[in-house]
Amino acid sequence: MPIQTVGVIGAGQMGNGIAHVFATSGHDVLLSDVSADALTAAIGRIEKNTARQVSKSQMSEGDRDAALSRITATTELGELGGSDLVIEAATESEEVKDQIFAGLAPSLGPDTILTSNTSSLSITRLAAKTDRPERFMGFHFMNPVPLIQLVELIRGIATSEDTYQTLLAVVGKLGKTAASAEDYPGFIVNRVLIPMINEAIYALYEGVGDVASIDASLRLGANHPMGPLELGDFIGLDTCLAIMHVLNDGLADTKYRPCPLLVKYVEAGWLGRKTGRGFYDYRGETPVPTR
């Protein structure tokens, strides 16, 4: 089925990026959040980011105005029920996601496709609690959404081929590339990426190197654009820890044990860029390593 109207649940970092790319590709977007302030901030971020695209000649002023006009913000979850496609981009908590889908259920049209932007949770388990497991998929965008070209498509055990093909076409319309992943903990990207970050934290914890040397080693020695500790700060250390718990619980292998130092940073509230401190202190003009 053609997808024109898209509901996005969650106006945080991921949600506003998803709304941005759908609106600029010609879709009508309903962006929902329980917080009116979060919605205002999200629209402001989209306006700022699209203005940057205009300044770089990546889109015209007219296209920007048209894209912004296609975004509607609402605190009423039920207003998303008539959308062709709903993308849940709330916090990485299975309980929260279950509550959102349950709250949305009474207003859903029969053909609406439900998706979750979860980075690691079981799509099969999320889908089984809805009334349409065959029309439910994992739709995992990467941060920052407007810049990262990959989208992971994850089929639950009940996902239909029609649902998969519909979302594959949507990814193509967005100008992005789809990677199809099986429904196992962490999927592809985070199954590889987050344990690498966790191992870098172990190297710091064990005194193999300090923050600066570990990050420089991966940037210069492996040609990574960001060091693993810097990247952990960018993702959010609470998110990294949550994914490590999913991997550890789901795969029952000790190699996925979260580093105790990662746990301590999260307990301290040092979650990375979003809180001003993580493996770097971001409160000054230049980030400074904290260890």
Report whether the peptide linkage leading into residue 106 is cis, meaning its omega lies within 30 degrees of zero: no
Residue 277: CB partners within 8 Å, gap ≥ 6? 270, 283, 290
- β-pairing, 71-74 with 280-281? unpaired
| Dihedral, 187, 146, 40, 237 alpha carbons, nearest 10 | 40
20 catalytic per annotation: no
Tokens for 143, please give them.
Answer: 């941060």
245 catalytic per annotation: no
Q: Which of 49, 83, 190, 198 is catalytic?
A: 190
What angle separates helix 211-221 from helix 228-235, to the nearest 10 degrees?
A: 100
CA neighbor of 185 nearest in space, from 270, 107, 252, 111:
252
Q: Which of 49, 122, 140, 198 is catalytic?
A: 140
Q: Which of 16, 116, 119, 248 is catalytic?
A: 119
124 and 155 Cβ atoms separated by less than 8 Å: no
Q: Which of 27, 49, 120, 152 is catalytic?
A: 152
Assign 182 to helix, strand or coil.
coil
- Residues labelled catalytic: 119, 140, 152, 190
